[in-house]
Structure 1
Amino acid sequence: MKEKAVILLSGGLDSTVCMAVAKNLGFELLPLSFNYHQRHKRELEAAAKVAAYFDVSKHLVIETNMESIGGSALTDDDMSVPAGNIERDDIPITYVPARNLIFLSYALGYAEVSGSNRIFIGVNALDYSGYPDCRPEFIRMFQQLADYSTKATTQDGRRIVIETPLINFTKKDIVLLGHQLKAPLQLTTSCYQGGEAACGQCDSCLLRLKGFAEAGLTDPILYDDRSE
């Protein structure tokens, strides 16, 4: 019987490649996605397509209303997604407060109930938008918390490990790995605007395009003509 792994699947490039890594390692995939009332709900459609591509037995989607907290251009209608600037040093307004902390907490509970000893998350700390919950320090601290916060870990002798196979990868590295593993990159979406065609202008689009260009590959998704 295959060992199970919970995969945090957003429908984006990084999480899809992360899922391909887990598949390549031989895990039974338990993808977990979130409807957090994000403006770009197109990512949920992409996540469903990616899950279907991997022929998983179950794709769990949890609703958690982070719109009520607000404070992010990805959840607030009165905040606009800014033009991309991948050279910035500050944390952009597309940061969603405590998002990965919340997502990993749900994933930890799902791992405990499903009998999974692994949680895969596609965070990376090199070519990214500066979010504090994508850093190795955050993952290390959450792992320490996870080791003491469930019945599985405190009574049953299990250790649920947070796996971050992409954390030291550039977007070029991620694109090349996805290409090597035949991940369905054509089904993914990264754009913060959430349109049928990617805008090509937001931070996420710029980082994605940079990765494909440096990898010498053509991005298979559709972009808005205005981004040309």
Structure 2
Amino acid sequence: MPEKIVVVYSGGMDSFTVLHHAIKTGADVFAISFNYGQKHSKELNVAQKVCGDFSIPHKVVDISSINSLMAGSSLTSDIDIPEGHYESDNMKSTVVPNRNMVLLSMAIAYAVSLEASAVYYGAHSGDHHIYPDCRPEFVHAMNAVSRIANYEPVDIVTPYLNNTKGEILAAGLKMGLDYSDTWTCYNGREKACGKCGSCVERLEAFDQQGKQDPIAYE
């Protein structure tokens, strides 16, 4: 029997690449996405499409009822999405309190129920500056807890933890991935804004690889 893997799949560039990295291991892949009240819930539609195209079992879990416990972020509250680069201090408003610990805990529970050996997610070095729950020390500590929290240990795997967004894109392009099937923008409008930190970083990554971003911008 093939190994089972759960992938935390947002529908963005990083998790899209992680999903395909997991597929290439030969394991049975199960994707899980979360509606936590994010303004850019369009990413969930993109995730559903990709999983449908690749016949990957996909759960979309609605945890938006806990939005009031994760308030204060411009991604979930009535606060304007900041524009600019992630290195700017105003980008701290996009931090959702304790988000990855909450989402990983539920993904680990799903993995235990499936008898899966690992949960994959897309933390990377570009996020370390702004997001505490994408830093290596968080990942390593959470992994240690995951291994002792249940009778069967589950590993947290972050294939691109020490890679930049550009390097992740390069890995995906080498796999022949089509990034038109991803959504990155923090604004959930029809087209990407091109100005939020997430868009700026994405556009930088494509520029570094000498490629044209296939999605439409305002």
Q: Above 0.5 in TM-score?
A: yes
Q: How many residues align?
A: 216
Residue 9 of structure 1 and its aligned partner are, at CA, apart by 0.3
Q: Is the 8 A contact 1:171 1:212 kept in 2?
A: no
User: What's the TM-score once normalised by structure 2's chain length?
Assistant: 0.94
What's the counterpart of residue 180 of structure 2?
Answer: 186
Write the distance in 1 (CA, Å) between the matches of 2:44 and 2:115.
25
2:217 equivalent to 1:217: no
What's the counterpart of residue 63 of structure 1?
Answer: 62
Letter in 2 for 1:86: Y
Write the distance in 1 (CA, Å) between the matches of 2:44 and 2:174.
25
Cα deviation digits, residues 149-174 of structure 1 (max 9, x gap): 1122xxxxxx3111100111111111
Give structure 1 regions of 4+ aligned residues with deviation exceeding 6 angstroms: none
Q: Which runs of 5+ in 1 are unaligned?
A: 153-158
RMSD: 1.5
Q: Which runs of 5+ in 2 are unaligned?
A: none
Which secondary structure state, in structure 1, belongs to the residue aligned with residue 68 of structure 2? coil
Residue 87 of structure 1 and its aligned partner are, at CA, apart by 2.7
Percent of pairs with identical residues: 38
Q: 208-217 vs 174-183, which deviates more? A: 174-183
Which secondary structure state, in structure 2, belongs to the residue aligned with residue 194 of structure 1? coil
Q: Is the 8 A contact 2:4 2:29 kept in 1?
A: yes
Kindly report which structure 2 residues correspond to 1:125-144, keeping only aligned pairs within 5 A, or say none: 125-126=125-126, 130-144=130-144
Kindly report which structure 2 residues correspond to 1:1-228, keeping only aligned pairs within 5 A, or say none: 1-56=1-56, 58-65=57-64, 66-69=66-69, 70-76=71-77, 78-88=78-88, 92-126=92-126, 130-152=130-152, 159-224=153-218
Higher helix share: 2
User: What's the TM-score once normalised by structure 1's chain length?
Assistant: 0.90
Write the distance in 2 (CA, Å) between the matches of 1:138 and 1:128.
10
Cα deviation digits, residues 40-90 of structure 1 (max 9, x gap): 11011011112123221x2111111242121111111x2110112233257
